[in-house]
Chain A
Amino acid sequence: MNRLRFATRREHGPRRPAPRLAIWQPQEPALWILFGTLLVCLPLSAQTMIAGDAEPGLAAVGGVLVLAQGTLLWLLASWLLRARTLPGSLRLAAMSWGFVVASVIAAFANTKWFEILTGHGFHSFAAAIAAPFDEDLLRFAGILAILTIALRTRRPTTLNGIGYGFLVGAGFEISENLLFVLSADDLQSGTHIALIRTGLGFGLHAMWSGIQGALLVVGLTFLRLRSVSGLALLAAGLAFPMVLHSLWDAPALTLDYRWTLASLAMIYVVSIGTLIGIRAYAIRDSHKLLLGSLTT
């Protein structure tokens, strides 16, 4: 055994230090915040999912939903946003923030806001006010954490920003949908929820976070050059997805479901259109950076 190990080492020459994971940036406060919040929120997230004591059928529906939506979102992230080029540890961290940290903190804060808003006559608007405020801000914080860590090894491009943002939002979306399914009354309603959450508004949280990620990268870049434009872009990165989210969660103006579906479709199209537009800008931006690095 020892001879074999000795021979292998000689064959490959002196042992090289293992490449450090991209996430391992111990000097960066964002890393410790990420680890700390994950450590606190992970048991809470597990408890929330187990506490419902869902029947095995519902748990199976939830499992299928996680697999199906996870695969679809991952394919979209890989294909459209080239997420495969991002370091694996940072991709995992981005999804974990969305799946665990953002969903646990948002669930707690949303519940509190719902109580307050309902008590003060805003029951119908509680979701439209509380959810964008809590969820989009938390996702923004997660993207900022990942980008701050990523910045230590490589300057993230706008496309990277969309990718990290999309993954944070995807993690959140899967977690939220899973919780909805697990808290259903029975298998039939759980299946109904899973289908509705896949067919109507699928990927919206991921797209909104993708927009946030892109504007965060561009905003931080501009902030280094011209502070006002940078701040405006950062504010837009926060506000624009919040507005779309708020409109999506707003109560229907009429009982006529055709009008409701049309307005939801409009928000969906605007979200997709914005993401595609930003992606086109990001790819052009990446090409410019590449050309710049080749000519210098």
Chain B
Amino acid sequence: MATLTPDRSELVRQFGLDKQNVGMLGRLLATGNIARAEEGPDGRMTAEVHIVPDQLVWDPSILVLPHGGELDIEFVNDDQNTHCALVPSNGDSQWMWLPNYSRGTIHVTLDGPGQYWFSSNIGNDEGRGLIGAIVVMGDVPASARLDRPPQPRP
């Protein structure tokens, strides 16, 4: 599941940046696991995201979508504290309580491509580590692209 390079992962571990209250007070953002959303035959996507006990981190903390569109995320709070989920979505962000040992599903709509952040926006959950990324891959529709020859990318 993890895709960090071995050297970088090892250094993050050595410095204690991937655990609460070891190297720093919380844990480094976006150093958790990475996973790809499942895609149904109709293109609608689903994912399951947990809160790891005593780690104040989403698992996965980086969720990859193959394209923009409709996404159902089931959040599961495995922690012994209350958190919540604030997830961007076209129209309005979606927000849900996540009491200890609870689960619930949020439906969101996101454009692609691009990167979005979701979080637990209470206390300093965000600063301690409960900020995750939703990464949308793909391209804009052909009708939205510039009329020009293909250009070099970085």
- The finding on whether chains A and B are genuine partners in a shared complex, rather than unrelated, reads no
Interface residues of A (CB under 8 A from B): none
Interface residues of B (CB under 8 A from A): none
